[in-house]
Amino acid sequence: MSPGLLALITFSILMVLILSGVQLCTSLMITSVIGVFLITNNFSTAMNVLAQAAWAQIRQYMFGVIPLFVLMGMLANLSGASQELYDSASLLLKRVRGGVGIATIIANAIFAAITGVSIASAAVFTKIAFPQMTRLNYNRRVAVGTVSGSAVLGMLIPPSLLMIVYGSQADTSIGKLFIAGVGPGIVLTIAFIITILLIAKLHPDYIPEVEPLTEEEKKNFWKIVLKPWAIILLIVISLGGIWMGFFTPTEAGGVGAFGAFLIVLLKRKFNVKTMWDTLLSTASTTGGVLILLISANTYSKCLSMAGVINLISNFLENLNVPPVVVILIFMVILLALGCILDSTSILLLTIPLMVPTIRTLGYDPVWFGIVMIISVECGLITPPFGMNVYTVKAALMGIPGGEDATIEEIFAGSMPFLIAMLVVLLMCIFVPGIVTFLPNLMI
């Protein structure tokens, strides 16, 4: 069977399974077994490939980074870090029109350096920021859009689960990916802040005038502003240790998780029940990611055995277009997939096909990883299946003024932030130094 025909058959089977509601990991495994069977005409060989992929994939030392950074984020949230970050940023920016919206963005950016999961940020800051913006008479569409849009920073600013997924599948340094995400993360944060300022300028009725500090805020100003010092120090230590070469990403995850546990003790938030729930949530999240990695590795082996990867690479290399056009084609594909699939699924489906071509064209896989993640993250706020939008909608239940917010309203409020993301994506493509500058300085 020719590679082209096999690719068509397996991809058709995969799409039918996914659109039928079968979980991605199960769909990938079934498709892989069928694909290897069609290649070898031997069912035992197909099952052995699946077993070997499961054994070889997650026994690697580097995969310890997943549960450790997830645990770090869970413990940090347990300590109340998200509320402290928001209170600090909102007080600092209270004299700025749109300051509460900007504070939500900044707090999300810092919280992203702890959790690494956009959906978690969306859920947490809907509960924290939306009531405050409603109290100040922010336009509701702007309020929900700010939370939904800024939560995408969770997967771009390190540590990020998407970076771990990409690094493991593309055989690329996870440490370099973490550091590479810092520059684009800062640029995207600034772009979101500019978006809020533009909304305040163009639609002054959407964002209220600033309100003066209360006597209590004046009295406790620095106490509130400096309250998140412990969690910020933890971020600096864990990520700075990777950059300076003191820690591997896995070791940094261990340091971060232990540090977050100490902060829980320091804040007197520890009790047996919440700690047990935190460990169960960590195990659940980690297990879901690892089973996806196993299934994706099996699918990648199937494509490689069939020669599909070489077929696609050769086809793209023979196109009479500049290499950057191939990059743009890939970005359009990722943006389109973002409208119907979740971020992890998109990466696992496309990395085996795109990364070999990128390497052949001479591009830095670390740079492409960050560009790829930004493209995929756009899908979190694009209709019809933007996960951040639905997370915000679910989190609004029970919040006065938010229960009747519609999905369409949240999507509309997120659109200015989607435009900002697309601008930053193009900047990273045409000015690659935004991504590569810090990794090139690593020791």
- pLDDT tens digits along 113-153: 776 667 777 777 788 888 888 888 888 888 888 988 888 88
pLDDT of 340 strictly over 70 = no
Tokens of 90: 């909102």
Q: Are 294 and 165 in contact (CB under 8 A)?
A: no
Radius of gyration of the chain (CA): 22
pLDDT at 242: 78
Tokens of 429: 């493509």
Tens of pLDDT, residues 314-328: 676 677 778 888 899
Q: What percent of the chain has pLDDT over 70?
A: 91
Alpha carbon distance 84, 184 (integer Å): 25
Per-residue model confidence (pLDDT) at position 1: 60
pLDDT: is 192 or 357 the higher one?
192
Using pLDDT thresholds of 50, 70 and 90, give the confidence band for residue 61: low
Instruction: Give which of 280, 283, 287, 282 is closest to 23, Cα–Cα.
Output: 287
Q: Please, are residues 200 and 207 in contact by the beta-carbon 8 Å criterion?
A: yes
CA-based torsion, 378, 379, 385, 387: positive or negative: negative
Which tokens belong to 274?
Answer: 């919440």
Query: To 10 degrees, the CA torsion angle through 97, 100, 104, 106?
Result: 50
pLDDT at site 169: 82
Render pLDDT for 242-288 as a digit per residue (tens, 0 to 9). 777 787 777 888 888 888 889 888 888 888 888 888 888 888 777 77
pLDDT value at position 394?
80
Helical (H) or strand (E) element with 168: helix 161-170
- Over the stretch 201-251, which tens digit does the pLDDT of each residue have? 888 888 888 777 777 877 888 888 888 888 888 888 887 887 777 877 778
CA distance 157 to 177: 10
User: Angle at which helices 272-306 and 161-170 pack, to 10 degrees?
Assistant: 30
Using the CB atoms, write b or e for 149-174: b if 16+ within 10 Å.
bbbbbbbbbbbbbbbbbbbbbbebbb
Burial environment of residue 38 by CB neighbours within 10 A (0 to 12, 13 to 18, 19 or more):
middle
Per-residue burial over 286-304, b = 16 or more CB atoms within 10 Å of its CB, e = otherwise: beebbbbbbbbbbbbbbbe
Alpha helices in 220-342 (DSSP H): 221-225, 229-243, 249-266, 272-306, 308-317, 323-337
Mean pLDDT value across residues 150-161: 81
DSSP 3-state of 270: coil
Of residues 259 and 22, more confidence is placed in 259
Is residue 212 within 8 A of residue 136, CB to CB? The reply is: no
The model's pLDDT over 369-396, given as tens digits with 9 standing for 90+, comes to 999 999 988 888 887 767 788 888 888 8
| 249 CB neighbour count, 10 Å cutoff | 27
For residue 190, name the pLDDT band (cuts at 50, 70, 90). very high
Residue range 61-85: mean pLDDT, rounded: 77
pLDDT of 366 above 90: yes
What six digits make up the tokens of 120?
A: 């978690």
With beta carbons less than 8 A apart as the criterion, state whether 39 and 303 touch.
no
> What distance in Å separates the CA atoms of residue 36 and residue 41, rounded to the nearest whole number?
8
| Contact status, residue 216 vs residue 32, Cβ threshold 8 Å | no
Give backbone dihedrals phi and psi of 432, rounded to 5 degrees, phi first.
-60, -20
The mean-pLDDT minimum among 5-14, 35-44, 84-93, 307-316 falls in: 307-316
Residue pair 25/54 in contact (Cβ under 8 Å)? The answer is no
pLDDT higher than threshold 80 for residue 360: yes
For the entire predicted model, the pTM comes to: 0.79
What pLDDT does 290 receive? Answer: 75
